[in-house]
């Protein structure tokens, strides 16, 4: 098969022409504006070098960053009408509310909640309403919006309502384009909705650009099919690319790694792609890039459902600037990057006549790289050259070691234009560095050899028999295989590339998220190519030469006549964009001040920045459980933007007779990220409890646990009801069960209590045998009657009980941890070290890479263990952490170092971003942190409920690893601004 592969990067556009597995010609040049000029020039050049004509080409594959760059740069975006089919659920968060404000204003033109949606088990949330869809269409038509997105609750499990709504919308507004979210992601409604909105905003621009390329190729005489490469390294048709441009967003790094696998014929390796600005290090697993462990990935500050390659970028490239000090004739303190000359290399690099020393100059002077002018760098200090290379290898070794998941040597493949800087005989971490032929156009090699693929990402519930799981997996595999063949793969080449089974907690039966990927080689239908094979065989050399001359004339003609017109169109669009951006710059940005606001009543009034701080700190105090506070942080910010105040009350001066209700969300975190709280659940339970107690007055609310998403629940509901939240909780962290509430441990009755759903259905429990029995009743109600999430109000707690058995100032503690991490990132210092340098007691107990995860679901809980291979000061050691929703036991080299109730939490080493047990993934680079528990949890009475033996670890004894110090109040430590 004769085909052309193109990869359009931000800096360069690569092109190759291949016959079978053999590359016949290649070309690299600077990416142009418009992109289509560079694409056509690349095609023209590789055709000419290989002495081929357009009619001989059987397929063209293009990978491009054009559309993701357009979104990041806020160019060529259209207004979108965002419709969410959710019934009464999710109404506490509107569409695009978590976006950066400038992007939200530019893209989100209309938003509406509509009746419908499904529960996790397939039952209706509310009835679908055709008339409501039509009403929304009238508003969309009035606003002259032509792009629409549809997001139904649990649509990945049942897309019926999205499909129905699309039919109605297309009938009412025939000219509009509709993106259905179930086509772009799995469970996680905000990430999936964001992905669909981004896609809709780019559709017209993508369609226009792809159509231009199609037309130009037809004008040249190409009659072959055109494909685009996707985020996962597989191909999609032109039709699909126009419809889903977001699926191209990460095709660049994916193509690079796929190309490295093809050129080297190595399926499992480290790939180091060195460009002009940076080096990107990724891992090949079975010939495909290892995906990032994150459930969601951020694009322009927006959480999306895209699964992207796991790539570590460092500031080391051909244009990286070199700095050093010379003392007493000795070269010292050599640094490389992170800043780079980039596209100015050939103007400012010393080897090109400039005056800025960069890494390419060093490579040229060492005669490793054969470009530039050697004479201009021949006099560089030999000591400087050697120290630069030593520093470069140190940087590469550190980065590569972080990406590896074992100490075993792994092949290292060098690709990208900057790979020419590395000696061919180099060795890193015991592995020889391999620089395959055509390394400099590896991205285009990946594109030209891309396969047809299909991925399934689905939540499944199994019966208890293993046979049930096997049948479901077999059915999913068969479905994926059929889809791949239907999409154009050769049947005999179809195979499973990857499968992942992630158990989900707090759901009845055994539920898992199944991710399955099947791939196959591309089948070219000769009939569709209009018999070009026979034509090729009968064309003599003279005719072929004449045809090539005509092609060259055609290229020249089209470049003049068409591409210049396209360029003018894009220039006009960019002028309009620049004007819009200038207007945005004139909008004053609110200054983030280092102080807290306190009102006349002494309440701490939270701002948006405070919500972000508390959410980060609460995730860390969650000990890996409690659910991510991310959703509730967006809800809290929505409340603030609506004009309501979130008030935090200090426990310092509370009276013994004051009355507080403890509140929480209860259910499955996996469901909570899809069927988001409406805001009615917990408030309905509070109202029910006020009636039970005949309460005319309530002094405030308190969170049941400071760890995880429940930390923010009382603040959100309290703001709606005009109630303050007391800065304390009943766990000092997150625990999975109600019997682990401190007030219940120390004698408070766990009843009466109330539980409610988004429809305001409410159940009051007047009596339970004990808190463990209450836990069972509540879980059963939530799972089978309330759609797996509900709001709970627990018994009234008096001020006297709070002072005796509550954990005071824990909201302040969470806020302080989050603030320290935020400040460390701004100051570009290590955020993990900053946590403990700030006075927070605890320590880093391990740093390394996750190389094994074992999970299973038992009685609704996610149980398992994680093993981490150490690096840096923990090299040659291993850490194992056992968890049951929360992390419970940490061992280093088989020796127990920390146990529950002390907090054990995984964070990303570079960012200190906390990782829940559900989000832990193979290959993540993590630091394991530990925080000591307060004395109320470490005595014999409490340990019976929260110690190792309470979770089934009969051979483990609790031993404190560090002294505990109670968190201080922000009123005593922070600058206060009275309002």
SS in 3 state form for 632-697? HHHHHHHHHHCCCCCEEECHHHCCCCCEEEEEEEEECHHHHCCCCCCCHHHHHHHHHHHHHHCCCC
List the one residue out of 202, 288, 205 whose CA is nearest residue 251: 288
Distance of CA 122 to the CA centre of its chain: 27
CB 730 within 8 A of CB 806: yes
pLDDT, tens digit (0-9, with 9 covering 90-100), for 649-696: 999 989 999 999 999 999 888 889 999 999 999 999 999 999 988 988
List the one residue out of 21, 539, 216 whose CA is nearest residue 5: 21
- Which segments within 802-860 are labelled E, that is strand? 807-808, 843-858
Q: What is the 3-state secondary structure (H, E, C) of 575-604?
A: HHHHHHHHHHHCCCCCCCCCCEEECCCCCE
* Mean pLDDT, range 340-350, rounded to an integer: 87
**Which of these ranges, 468-472, 855-859, 868-872, has the smallest mean pLDDT?**
855-859
CB 31 within 8 A of CB 38: yes
List the one residue out of 103, 16, 883, 845 whose CA is nearest residue 450: 16
Question: For all residues of the chain together, what is the average pLDDT?
Answer: 88
CA atoms of 285 and 498, how far apart (whole Å): 9
**Which of these ranges, 398-407, 486-495, 524-533, has the smallest mean pLDDT?**
524-533
What six digits make up the tokens of 929? 């942190």
CB 52 within 8 A of CB 15: no
**Which of these ranges, 35-39, 147-151, 447-451, has the smallest mean pLDDT?**
35-39
Other CB atoms within a 10 A radius of the CB of residue 870 amount to 19
pLDDT of residue 233: 85
| Backbone phi, psi, residue 510, to 5° | -115, 110
Other CB atoms within a 10 A radius of the CB of residue 716 amount to 29
Q: Kindly list the distances between the CA atom of residue 134 and the CA atoms of 131, 137, 179, in Å, as whole numbers in the listed order.
A: 5, 5, 17
CA atoms of 120 and 115, how far apart (whole Å): 17
CB 16 within 8 A of CB 61: no
Bigger pLDDT: 810 or 457? 810
Work out the pLDDT band at 514, boundaries 50, 70, 90: confident
Work out the pLDDT band at 583, boundaries 50, 70, 90: very low
Burial 380-393 (b: 16+ CB within 10 A, else e): beeebbebbbebbb
* Mean pLDDT, range 566-577, rounded to an integer: 51
Judging by DSSP bridges, how do beta strands 647-649 and 2-8 pair with one another?
unpaired
* Mean pLDDT, range 181-205, rounded to an integer: 94
- CB neighbour list of residue 65: distance below 8 Å, 6 or more residues apart: 8, 9, 10, 248, 249, 251, 252
pLDDT of residue 456: 82
**Global pTM?**
0.85
CB 110 within 8 A of CB 140: yes
pLDDT(467) > 70: no
Bigger pLDDT: 713 or 416? 713
CA atoms of 876 and 866, how far apart (whole Å): 17
CA atoms of 206 and 69, how far apart (whole Å): 12
Q: Which of 498-502, 567-571, 832-836 has the highest mean pLDDT?
A: 832-836
pLDDT(58) > 80: yes
**Which of these ranges, 129-133, 480-484, 895-899, 938-942, has the smallest mean pLDDT?**
480-484
pLDDT, tens digit (0-9, with 9 covering 90-100), for 74-85: 989 999 999 999
pLDDT of residue 551: 53
Judging by DSSP bridges, how do beta strands 431-434 and 412-415 pair with one another?
parallel
pLDDT of residue 568: 54
pLDDT(643) > 60: yes
Judging by DSSP bridges, how do beta strands 647-649 and 725-726 pair with one another?
parallel
pLDDT(377) > 60: yes
Bigger pLDDT: 71 or 186? 71
Alpha-carbon dihedral 424, 427, 432, 433, rounded to 10 degrees: -50
CA atoms of 457 and 467, how far apart (whole Å): 21
**Which of these ranges, 499-503, 549-553, 854-858, 920-924, has the smallest mean pLDDT?**
549-553
pLDDT(977) > 60: yes
Q: Kindly list the distances between the CA atom of residue 697 and the CA atoms of 602, 666, 686, 690, 693, in Å, as whole numbers in the listed order.
A: 19, 25, 12, 9, 10
Planar angle of CA 495, 498, 504, nearest 5 degrees:
135
| Backbone phi, psi, residue 414, to 5° | -100, 125
pLDDT of residue 786: 93
CA atoms of 843 and 835, how far apart (whole Å): 9
pLDDT of residue 537: 39
pLDDT of residue 315: 87
pLDDT(538) > 60: no
915: Cα within 13 Å, side-chain hemisphere? 27
Distance of CA 418 to the CA centre of its chain: 28
Judging by DSSP bridges, how do beta strands 297-299 and 302-304 pair with one another?
antiparallel
Residue 338: asked if its preceding bond is cis (omega within 30°), the reply is yes
CA atoms of 900 and 728, how far apart (whole Å): 20
List the one residue out of 861, 504, 512 whose CA is nearest residue 670: 504
Q: Kindly list the distances between the CA atom of residue 656 and the CA atoms of 407, 802, 821, in Å, as whole numbers in the listed order.
A: 59, 9, 36
* Mean pLDDT, range 361-383, rounded to an integer: 93
* Mean pLDDT, range 569-596, rounded to an integer: 51
Bigger pLDDT: 750 or 487? 750
pLDDT(593) > 80: no
pLDDT(549) > 60: no
pLDDT of residue 535: 35
pLDDT(441) > 70: yes
Q: What is the 3-state secondary structure (H, E, C) of 166-233?
A: HHHHHHHCCCCEEEEHHHCCCCCHHHHHHHHHHHHHHHHHHHHHHHHHHHHHHHHCCCCCEEEECCCC
pLDDT of residue 743: 98
* Mean pLDDT, range 198-203, rounded to an integer: 97
* Mean pLDDT, range 391-416, rounded to an integer: 85
pLDDT(9) > 60: yes
- CB neighbour list of residue 633: distance below 8 Å, 6 or more residues apart: 611, 612, 614, 615, 712
Work out the pLDDT band at 536, boundaries 50, 70, 90: very low
Q: Kindly list the distances between the CA atom of residue 330 and the CA atoms of 362, 365, 366, 380, in Å, as whole numbers in the listed order.
A: 17, 19, 19, 14
């Amino acid at each position: 098969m004769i085909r052309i592969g193109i990869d359009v990067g931000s800096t360069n556009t690569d092109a190759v022409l291949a016959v079978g597995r053999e590359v016949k010609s290649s070309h690299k040049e600077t990416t142009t504006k418009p992109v289509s000029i560079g694409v056509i020039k690349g095609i023209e050049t590789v055709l000419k070098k290989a002495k081929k004509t357009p009619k001989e080409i059987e397929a063209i594959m293009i990978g491009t960053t054009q559309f993701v760059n357009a979104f990041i740069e806020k160019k060529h975006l259209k207004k979108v009408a965002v419709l969410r089919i959710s019934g009464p659920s999710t109404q506490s968060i509107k569409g695009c509310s978590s976006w950066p404000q400038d992007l939200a204003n530019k893209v989100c033109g209309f938003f509406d909640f509509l009746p419908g949606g499904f529960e996790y088990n397939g039952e209706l949330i509310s009835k679908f309403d055709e008339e409501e869809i039509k009403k929304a269409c009238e508003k969309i038509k009035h606003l002259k919006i032509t792009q629409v997105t549809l997001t139904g609750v649990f649509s990945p499990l049942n897309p019926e309502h999205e499909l129905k709504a699309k039919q109605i919308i297309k009938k009412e507004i025939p000219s509009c384009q509709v993106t259905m979210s179930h086509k772009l992601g799995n469970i996680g409604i905000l990430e999936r909705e964001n992905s669909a909105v981004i896609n809709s905003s780019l559709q017209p621009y993508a369609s226009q650009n792809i159509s231009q390329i199609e037309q130009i190729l037809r004008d040249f005489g190409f009659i072959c099919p055109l494909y685009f490469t996707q985020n996962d390294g597989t191909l999609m048709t032109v039709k699909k690319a126009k419809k889903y441009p977001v699926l191209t967003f990460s095709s660049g790094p994916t193509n690079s790694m796929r190309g490295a696998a093809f050129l080297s014929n190595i399926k499992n390796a480290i790939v180091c792609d060195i460009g002009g600005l940076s080096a990107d290090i990724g891992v090949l697993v079975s010939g495909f890039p290892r995906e990032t462990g994150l459930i969601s990935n951020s694009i322009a500050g927006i959480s999306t459902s895209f699964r992207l390659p796991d790539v570590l970028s460092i500031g080391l490239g051909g244009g990286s600037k070199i700095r050093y000090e010379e003392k007493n004739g000795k070269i010292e303190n050599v640094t490389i990057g992170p800043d780079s000359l980039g596209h100015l290399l050939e103007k400012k690099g010393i080897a090109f006549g400039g005056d800025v020393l960069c890494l390419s100059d060093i490579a040229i002077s060492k005669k490793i790289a054969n470009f530039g002018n050697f004479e201009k760098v021949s006099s560089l200090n030999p000591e400087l050259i050697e120290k630069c290379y030593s520093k470069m290898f140190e940087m590469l070794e550190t980065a590569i070691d972080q990406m590896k998941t074992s100490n075993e040597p792994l092949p290292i493949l060098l690709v990208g234009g900057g790979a020419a800087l590395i000696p061919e005989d180099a060795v890193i971490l015991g592995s020889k560095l391999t620089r395959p032929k055509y390394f400099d156009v590896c991205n285009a090699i990946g594109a030209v050899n891309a396969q047809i693929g299909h991925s399934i990402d689905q939540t499944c519930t199994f019966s208890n028999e293993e046979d049930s799981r096997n049948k479901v997996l077999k059915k999913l595999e068969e479905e994926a295989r059929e889809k791949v063949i239907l999409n154009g793969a050769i049947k005999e080449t179809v195979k499973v590339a990857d499968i992942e089974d992630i158990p989900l907690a707090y759901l009845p039966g055994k539920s898992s998220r199944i991710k399955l990927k099947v791939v196959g080689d591309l089948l070219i239908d000769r009939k569709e190519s209009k018999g070009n094979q026979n034509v090729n065989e009968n064309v003599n050399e003279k005719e072929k030469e004449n045809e090539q001359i005509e092609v060259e004339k055609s290229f020249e003609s089209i470049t003049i006549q068409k591409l210049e017109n396209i360029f003018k169109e894009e220039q006009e669009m960019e002028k309009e964009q620049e004007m819009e951006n200038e207007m945005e710059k004139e909008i004053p940005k609110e200054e983030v001040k280092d102080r807290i606001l306190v009102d006349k009543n002494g309440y701490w009034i939270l701002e948006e920045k405070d919500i972000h701080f508390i959410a980060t700190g609460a995730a860390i105090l969650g000990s890996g459980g409690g659910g991510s506070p991310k959703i509730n942080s967006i809800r809290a910010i929505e409340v603030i933007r609506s004009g309501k105040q979130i008030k935090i009350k200090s426990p310092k001066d509370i009276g013994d007779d004051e009355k507080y209700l403890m509140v929480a969300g209860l259910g499955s975190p996996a469901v909570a990220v899809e069927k988001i709280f409406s805001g009615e659940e917990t408030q309905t339970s509070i109202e029910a409890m006020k009636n039970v107690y005949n309460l005319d007055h309530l002094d405030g609310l308190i969170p049941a646990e400071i760890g995880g998403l429940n930390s923010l629940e009382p603040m959100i509901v309290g703001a709606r009801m005009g109630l303050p939240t007391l800065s304390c909780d009943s766990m000092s962290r997150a625990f999975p069960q109600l019997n682990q509430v401190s007030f219940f441990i120390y004698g408070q009755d766990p009843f009466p209590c109330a539980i409610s759903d988004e429809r305001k259905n409410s159940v009051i429990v007047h009596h339970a045998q004990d808190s463990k029995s209450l836990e069972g009743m509540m879980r059963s109600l939530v799972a089978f009657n309330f759609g797996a999430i509900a709001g709970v109000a627990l018994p009234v707690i008096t001020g006297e009980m709070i002072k005796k058995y509550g954990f005071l100032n824990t909201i302040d503690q969470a806020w302080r941890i989050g603030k320290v991490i935020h400040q460390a990132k701004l100051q570009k210092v290590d955020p993990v070290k900053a946590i403990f340098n700030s006075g927070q007691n605890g320590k880093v107990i391990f740093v390394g890479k996750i190389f094994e995860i074992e999970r299973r679901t038992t009685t609704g809980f996610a149980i398992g263990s994680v093993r981490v291979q150490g690096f840096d000061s923990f090299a040659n050691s291993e850490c194992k952490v056992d968890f049951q929703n929360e992390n419970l036991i940490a061992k280093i080299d088989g020796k127990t170092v920390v146990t529950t109730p002390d907090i054990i939490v995984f964070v990303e080493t570079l960012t200190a971003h906390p990782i829940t047990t559900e989000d832990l993934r193979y290959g993540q680079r993590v630091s394991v942190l530990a925080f000591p528990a307060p004395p109320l949890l470490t005595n014999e009475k409490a340990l019976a409920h929260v110690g190792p033996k309470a979770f089934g670890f009969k051979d483990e004894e609790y031993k404190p690893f560090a002294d505990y110090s109670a968190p201080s109040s922000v009123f005593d430590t922070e600058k206060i601004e009275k309002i």
